[in-house]
């Protein structure tokens, strides 16, 4: 499995920021990721897969 650039804690933090109302685009800019990657990670987390 390919190693990710961000830890699970960083990903969880970004997802929580988006849930609190911060714009997804702003969260992505702060993290240095594309919105597409953010959405994929959110879908993976919501589906219960790791």
What is the pTM for the complete model shown?
0.68
Max Cα–Cα distance, the chain, nearest Å: 32
Residue with the two structure tokens 């919105």:
35
Phi-psi region of 12 (alpha: psi -120 to 50; beta: other; left: phi over 0): alpha
Domain limits at 17?
8-47
Count structural domains, the chain.
1
Residue 2 lies in a domain: no
1 in a domain, yes or no? no
For residues 17 and 34, the answer to whether their CB atoms sit within 8 Å is: no
Question: Considering only CA atoms, which of 10, 19, 7 is closest in space to residue 46?
Answer: 19
Q: What's the pLDDT band for 50 if we cut at 50, 70, 90?
A: low
User: Which pLDDT tens digit goes with each residue over 1-25?
Assistant: 566 677 888 888 888 998 998 999 9
């Amino acid at each position: 499995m390919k190693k990710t650039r961000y830890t699970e804690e960083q990903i969880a933090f970004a997802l929580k920021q988006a849930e609190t109302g911060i714009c997804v685009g702003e969260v992505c800019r702060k993290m240095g990721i594309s919105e597409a990657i953010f959405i994929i990670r959110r879908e993976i987390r919501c589906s219960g897969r790791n």
